[in-house]
Amino acid sequence: MNEPARIITLTTDFGIRDTYVGIMKGVILGINPDVQIVDLTHAIPPQDIHEAAFTIHAAHRHFPKGTIHTIVVDPGVGTERQAIVCEIDGTFFVCPDNGVLSYLLQNINNKAKLAINAVAIQNPDYFLPEVSNTFHGRDIFAPVAAHLSLGSPLTNIGPPMQGLVKFPILTPQEFGNTTTGHIIKTDRFGNGITNISENVIADDTASYEIRVGNTRLKQINRAYAESEVGEPLAIIGSYGLLEIAINGGNAEISLGLKRGDTVEIQRLD
């Protein structure tokens, strides 16, 4: 049996207005009252599997091995889409097989030593007695996560899965001194988070121009406040990625930023 896990995280698009999140927690605690539940976020935009995929990829590394990450962003609930548990390097992901693990799986492909062990969730002994067509978070994902936290082995949950669903991940392209990337998320502050890694800007002595839409930026800030209030800026954010922001403002609104927008960074010397 697996060593019992003590942490279950929840990532959903449920928001906090309704009772859905609280009900999932009640189901989990009814099976394992000693487990620790962490709300990663319930503010994923409805049905936005792309943002869910980036969110779990960015956050999971900050939790101890053995954590069970439960992701319920599930526009295909009630259809034939498969529910899965995926174990990656001792960490568990309980979710629909709809692409929410795409960033993680791409990262695995770049690190051959990390193994994936995935099973289809098919054993009804791990479900609630009645399963609705609209709330698998309550009836399937929450109880499966709770049983995993008690040490239930994957082999009891269902048969092995191969060929997990993935959507294409945009990756930056380099042409001479210019790296072209894209905005992959805007956060609640309106900052546009790109897929351009801080490694592209590793030379502190070089100068750069950053271009997004009609905006041209000539420096990369170390802090938001290095720019005047209301001014657009570029900065390496907490994800280790280039961000486009406005000091004291909202770049998503003011600059019209949206996911998929092209961002270019050119080294000038």
On the question of pLDDT at 24 being above 90, the answer is yes
Q: Average pLDDT for residues 199-222, to the nearest whole number? A: 91
Name the residue among 166, 180, 139 with its Cα closest to residue 31.
139
Q: Average pLDDT for residues 84-103, to the nearest whole number? A: 96
Cα first-last separation, the chain:
57
Residue type, 191: N
Total-model pTM: 0.93
Secondary structure tally for the chain: helices H, strands E: 7, 14
Q: Pick 157 or 112 by higher pLDDT.
A: 157
On the question of pLDDT at 112 being above 60, the answer is no
The model's confidence at residue 115, banded by pLDDT at 50, 70 and 90, is confident
pLDDT of 206 reads 84
**What's the fold here for domain 7-157?**
Rossmann fold (3.40.50)
Cross-strand bridge partners of residue 116: 88
Q: Helices in the chain by DSSP H: which ranges?
A: 20-31, 49-59, 102-109, 136, 142-149, 154-157, 251-254
Name the residue among 217, 245, 209 with its Cα closest to residue 230.
245
Structural domain 173-267, CATH architecture: Beta Barrel (2.40)
**Both tokens of residue 181?**
């990337």
Please state, for a pLDDT cut of 70, what percent of the chain lies above it. Answer: 96
CA angle 115-118-122, nearest 5°? 170
Q: Average pLDDT for residues 162-166, to the nearest whole number? A: 94
Please state, for a pLDDT cut of 90, what percent of the chain lies above it. Answer: 90
pLDDT of 110 reads 59
What are the domain boundaries of the chain? 7-157, 173-267
